[in-house]
């Protein structure tokens, strides 16, 4: 189907204003523009019962952690949510709208770690920070009111990549993850597929965007084949937690996300795949702007509730 009318209008306005793509800006300018765009698309933040900012030990020093608590009682299931931004942009703040919406819709704690970003801290720093955050939450559930038997991971874009990588690191560890939510994830740094080749519109997230982020994150091109950078290249998916994979029709990452879902299914992992027609990369964070974003948030929340019930709810 055609690009969603709202997204088309946004894209056309960028063209009229000749807005430069993020990959043509300095890092500082791109980071500021990314935060402003996500805040604009997210709308008014949803109220939650409590937001707590913590600092925990991480592999590279202090690691910030933000915990969103919905209006629910008792030890709650918890979602570790990793923000997107190509491992280069993004912060805890850019995940604020999604984290609030997911906490309210799922009834779970949402925990967002402020992992280290490239190029200052290239691969695999972000992966190890995210895994460290999961291990800390698993070991300190009583402090934050979480249920250690009901933990899940998720993220959008690069955050989806990090979530998939963390499931590989956490496989076989106790407690086992209850589920994963991967929203238009990068799964193969070496992908050369139809959706990648077709994405050339400079006023949308495109294949040049993907290449720009990859260069910052993987200064050693040989790292692209690592399963922690390209989870699709893992030898085995056996034992990974049930997954929801969300993709967008007009997204260079569409095909690699869907290939990941197929691999999960082929290896016996319960998986739900949903492609959102007319949508482009980034739609998931536009909670205050797009009906499809709200639908995707609700779909992710329903998947999490199902996973958490499986583990004893």
How far apart (Å, rounded) are the C-alpha atoms in residues 101 and 297?
7
How far apart (Å, rounded) are the C-alpha atoms in residues 272 and 231?
17
Tokens of 219: 């200064």
The residue annotated as part of the active site, out of 216, 251, 255, 293, is: 251
CB 144 within 8 A of CB 51: no
How many Å separate Cα 249 from the centre of its chain?
17
DSSP code of 245? E
**46: which residues sit within 8 A by CB, 6+ positions away?**
97, 100, 101, 104, 287
Across the chain, how many H-helices and E-strands are there? 10, 8
Active site residue 140: no
CB 83 within 8 A of CB 274: no
The phi and psi torsions of 64 (rounded to 5 degrees) equal: -70, 150
From residue 120, alpha-carbon distances to 57, 60, 104, 213 in Å are: 19, 12, 34, 13
Tokens of 62: 């202090």
Active site residue 131: no
The residue annotated as part of the active site, out of 157, 209, 226, 230, is: 157
The residue annotated as part of the active site, out of 195, 281, 293, 303, is: 281
Active site residue 157: yes
The phi and psi torsions of 284 (rounded to 5 degrees) equal: -60, -30
Catalytic residues: 157, 251, 281
């Amino acid at each position: 189907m055609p690009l969603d009318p709202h997204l088309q209008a946004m894209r056309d306005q960028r063209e009229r204003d000749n807005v430069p793509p993020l990959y043509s800006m300095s890092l500082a300018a791109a980071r500021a523009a990314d935060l402003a765009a996500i805040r604009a698309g997210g709308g008014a933040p949803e109220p939650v019962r409590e937001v707590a900012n913590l600092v925990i030990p991480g592999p590279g020093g202090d690691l910030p952690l933000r915990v969103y608590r919905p209006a629910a009682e008792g030890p709650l299931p918890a979602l570790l949510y990793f923000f997107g931004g190509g491992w280069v942009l993004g912060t805890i703040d850019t995940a604020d709208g999604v984290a609030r919406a997911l906490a309210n819709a799922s009834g779970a704690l949402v925990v967002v770690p402020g992992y280290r970003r490239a190029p200052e801290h290239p691969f695999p720093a972000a992966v190890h920070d995210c895994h460290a955050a999961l291990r800390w939450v698993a070991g300190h559930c009583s402090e934050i009111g979480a249920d250690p038997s009901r933990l899940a991971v998720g993220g959008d874009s690069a955050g989806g990549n990090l979530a998939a990588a963390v499931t590989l690191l956490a496989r076989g560890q106790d407690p086992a993850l209850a589920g994963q939510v991967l929203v238009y994830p990068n799964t193969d740094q070496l992908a050369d597929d139809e959706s990648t080749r077709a994405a050339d519109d400079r006023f949308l997230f495109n294949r040049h965007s993907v290449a720009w982020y990859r260069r910052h994150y993987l200064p050693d091109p040989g790292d692209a084949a690592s399963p922690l950078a390209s989870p699709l290249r893992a030898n085995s998916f056996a034992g990974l937690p049930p997954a929801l994979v969300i993709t967008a029709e007009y997204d260079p990452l569409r095909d690699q996300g869907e290939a990941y879902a197929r691999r999960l299914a082929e290896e016996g992992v319960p998986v739900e795949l949903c492609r959102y027609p007319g949508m482009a990369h980034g739609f998931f964070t536009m909670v205050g702007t797009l009906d499809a974003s709200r639908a995707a948030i609700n779909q992710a929340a329903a998947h999490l509730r199902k996973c958490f019930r499986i583990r004893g709810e």
